[in-house]
Structure formats: C-alpha cells, structure tokens
Amino acid sequence: MDFVNDVIAWKRDGRELDAARLRAFVDGVVDGSVPSYQASALLMAMVLRGLSDGETVELARAMVESGKMLDLRVVHRPVLDKHSSGGVGDKVTLVLAPLVAACGAVFGKMSGRGLGHTGGTLDKLESIPGFRVQLPQGEFVRQLERIGVAVVSQSERVVPADRILYALRDVTGTVECDGLIAASIMAKKVASGTSALVLDITVGRGAFMSDLDRARDLGRLCRLIGAAYERPTTCIFTSMESPLGRTVGNRLEVEEAWQVLGGEGPEDVREVTLTLAGALLALSDLGVDEAEGRRLAEAALADGRAAEHFERWCFVQGGRWKPGEFHRLAAHEARAGRAGYVTAVDAKAVGQAAQIAGAGRQRIDDTVDPAAGVWLERVVGDGVEAGDLLAAVFARDAARRAAASQVLEGAFTIGEAPPPPGQLVLGRLEAEA
C-alpha cells in the first residue's frame, strides 16, 4: 500500500490527519505524484468526515507553502483586503477599494474570476476598456505606494495547490466542506501578502452558505487561520437572498458602482460597502475605530474623493473610464403575471439568468460578454400591477435572451402582501486587536 493510500484510509476511518500527512498530500498534488483519483478520494473522505480545527489550519499552511508567498512589508503600511464568499450583483469591491484608499489607507487585492452564477471582480474591471489586471509584482507594489489601491489577478505561482484542488472539487461534489473552503480562501489571502482582512460571508439563496450558523463556523475557521499567521480577520455576515443592487453583469455593475461612488445608487450596495469600509479602516494604521472609519468613508463618498480615486485607479491600471459609454445590447423584458407585491427575487436564479445571457462562465476558460446582464426594475417590497416591467435581460443574441428571460421570470415571487423588512447585515465576528 502506498503512502497516499494509507492517508486516504486513515481519513476514511475518521482519524485525524497530522501536518506531515497533509503536507505530503498537498505537495504530491502540486508535483503530480498524487494522481487526481487519489486526491479526489481524499477530498471526499474530508467532506464526509469533516476537518477538525487543527486539520483546517495545517491544510491551509501546507497550501500557503505550496507556492510563492508575497511579502508586502516593502509597502511599510498595512495592506488591507476584503473577500466575499460569493454573491450576485456584488460590486462592493469596485466601490470599497478606491473608497478605502481615498480615506488614506492602503487596499491591495489579488482576485479570482467569476465561476457559475456569481461574478468575479476581475471580469467587472476588464469591462472597462484597457483595464489591465495582470501586473508584475513590482508594479503592484509601486501602485500601492503611489495611489493606495490596486486590484490584480492572482499570480499562477501563489497557492498552486488551490488551483488544482479547487478544479477537482468543482467536478467531484467536494466543494461543500467548511474546512476546505476556509483553507482555500485563507491560504490565498495569506500567500498574497494581505496584512488584515475583512471577510464578507454571504448567506442565503445566492450564496455558498444557506444558513447563518454554517456561515459563522466558516468565519470562525477563517479567523483561526488568520490568527495562525497574525493576519487580523473580521467577518461580516450579509444576506444574499436577493441580488445586491439592481444590476448583475460586468459593465452594468461598474456603472452602478460609479453611482454609489458619487453618493447615489442603491441603498443596499451603499450600506454593505460602508459597513465593510468601517471594519477595514479599523484594521488600518489610521488609528480609528469602526464608527469613525464609517464616518470617514461617508465623507469621502459625499465630497467626491472616492469617485476621484476610482478615476485615478482606472487611469493608472490602463482603464479608459467613461461612465455610460458602452455598447448597449438588445433587451428582453420580464413582466409581472399578476398584481401584488414582490416578496422575493431569487439571487441564484438572477445570477443564472445573467450567466446564460453571457455575463458569467460555466467553465473557467469560457469568455464573458462585458455588456451582458440583468437590470432589475422591481426589487423586494415593490408593488406591481399585472404586466408591469420586472426586469430586463441584455444579451448579444436572441436565443440567449429568450433562455435567460425564462429563468429570470421564475426568479420573481409576487404575493398578496408586502414582505416584512429583511435584514442586510446579519452579524459579525470582530478581529482581535
């Protein structure tokens, strides 16, 4: 029996994996000596048996050390980052990054691409003509020093184990394990040099986590890994029952983010952004608490500094930002079948409609259409008459428009009475100072 076979059987029988076994597994995955069928078997044993706190931290450590670690201490300031566990219409990073920099802190992020029904920040940024997300490390650091904000694509050499394992998990029914998710998220943050992190853990129909208890456990595990590397991590739990804001799709979301940067735009996007900004600024070297951080952020939205910082950021990363200037695609409209109140807009279904329209990927190597997506005319709580416009889907060809609008229509629930007001920020776990 070879060593990996032993490790699989060990976990299958419910025994704890130690650091040496986890490291041998991760190193073997990266150097190719552990074939994918053995890796998949171990991943399944991990999903079925669960990972202890100790296993989760050691797995994250083995993953961090599977590749290159960026040292951002050369910036001489804490480099703050925010990560969302996935959402529909989640354009918060587009607002938060320049906002935090406009308040005088440093925001640096290595980001991934969108997969499935959730969108990725890189795709949104690339919907701005010329915006470069692949920067050499030196340029990334210089940009952080110069303007305090940079968002780039994850280097291939950072946590190579995650790329291989995540691709396997995606096709073997092994994504759903809190320890695996926490190790995957945090290994990438630690290895990309983040000094302090705010995690937006989304809960609800459009999120990985369907209930708050599981989300809290994921947050607890992420903080444990953060603490092992002295990277303070605050978790904010937010609702993802319905999409955030009124747009889903890359360029449509940038346009909406621009409204929020100008002090306008949908209240939910603004509220999540300000909550995260307060939490992030409290982890900076500005010496402010969350309430003061939030006040700084509100002022930077109100007086135009955040919008100015967004423009500077786009310019420095090569983007030619002209609000409202993009090729508009033909739309298909979804209309209400009856009168009443919108009681739910299913985030997952809207995300799937946007994906079918061309805004998202089914496979990691698919290309996305920057102008495709969904506009929500009505949101939860709105009253409607039969025949009223609910939403529109924008796609390049009629077949996509028809398929997407069918899914979109099913996303709306219309009831007799208005729904009770929902909560957007569901809770938090604060980073220890």
Per rule CB under 6 A, is residue 195 in the interface with ligand URA? Answer: no
Catalytic residue among 40, 127, 153, 184: 184
Greatest alpha-carbon pair distance for the chain in Å reads 68
Burial 57-83 (b: 16+ CB within 10 A, else e): bbbbbbbbbbbeebebeebebbbbbbb
* 159: three-class secondary structure by DSSP: coil
- Smallest gap from Cβ 64 to ligand URA, in A, equals 13
Give the DSSP per-residue string, 54-72: HHHHHHHHHHHTTS----G
- Smallest gap from Cβ 298 to ligand URA, in A, equals 30
The answer to whether residue 305 is catalytic is no
* 276: three-class secondary structure by DSSP: helix
Adjacent-strand bridge partners of 199: 83, 235
- CA proximity to 179, closest of 52, 12, 38: 52
Q: Name the segment binding ligand URA (CB under 6 A); options: 144-152, 179-187, 290-298, 395-403.
A: 179-187
Complex with ligand URA: residue 69 or 175, whichever CB lies closer: 175
Site residues (CB under 6 A) for ligand URA, limited to 82-101? 85
Catalytic residue among 23, 163, 169, 428: 169
The answer to whether residue 284 is catalytic is no
The torsion angles phi and psi of 427, rounded to 5 degrees, stand at 165, 180
Adjacent-strand bridge partners of 233: 197
Q: Where are the alpha helices (DSSP H) in 289-382?
A: 290-302, 305-316, 347-357
Q: Name the segment binding ligand URA (CB under 6 A); options: 55-63, 180-188, 230-238, 323-331.
A: 180-188
Per rule CB under 6 A, is residue 239 in the interface with ligand URA? Answer: no
Per rule CB under 6 A, is residue 215 in the interface with ligand URA? Answer: no
Round to whole Å and give the CA distance between 284 and 288. Answer: 8
Complex with ligand URA: residue 81 or 256, whichever CB lies closer: 81
Residues 6 or more apart from 234 whose CB is under 8 A from it? 197, 198, 199, 279, 282, 283, 428, 429, 430, 431
- Smallest gap from Cβ 192 to ligand URA, in A, equals 12
Complex with ligand URA: residue 85 or 192, whichever CB lies closer: 85
The answer to whether residue 184 is catalytic is yes
Complex with ligand URA: residue 184 or 238, whichever CB lies closer: 184
Per rule CB under 6 A, is residue 181 in the interface with ligand URA? Answer: yes
Complex with ligand URA: residue 40 or 284, whichever CB lies closer: 40
Complex with ligand URA: residue 38 or 202, whichever CB lies closer: 202
- Smallest gap from Cβ 111 to ligand URA, in A, equals 10
- Smallest gap from Cβ 285 to ligand URA, in A, equals 27
Catalytic residue among 188, 294, 309, 378: 188
Q: Name the segment binding ligand URA (CB under 6 A); options: 132-140, 174-182, 262-270, 337-345.
A: 174-182
Burial 130-161 (b: 16+ CB within 10 A, else e): ebebebebeebbbbbeebbbbbbbbbeebbbb
The answer to whether residue 366 is catalytic is no
Complex with ligand URA: residue 184 or 239, whichever CB lies closer: 184
Amino acid 279 reads A
Per rule CB under 6 A, is residue 185 in the interface with ligand URA? Answer: yes
Residue with smallest beta-carbon separation from ligand URA = 184
- Smallest gap from Cβ 201 to ligand URA, in A, equals 10
Per rule CB under 6 A, is residue 62 in the interface with ligand URA? Answer: no
Length of the chain: 433
Task: Give the count of residues interacting with ligand URA (CB under 6 A).
Answer: 7
The torsion angles phi and psi of 205, rounded to 5 degrees, stand at -55, -35
- Rounded (10°) CA dihedral 16, 175, 216, 192: 90
The answer to whether residue 83 is catalytic is yes
Q: Both ends of the chain: CA-CA distance in Å?
A: 48
The torsion angles phi and psi of 366, rounded to 5 degrees, stand at -70, 155
Q: What is the DSSP letter of 418?
A: P
Catalytic residues: 83, 162, 169, 184, 188
Residues in the site for ligand URA, rule: CB under 6 A?
85, 166, 175, 180-181, 184-185
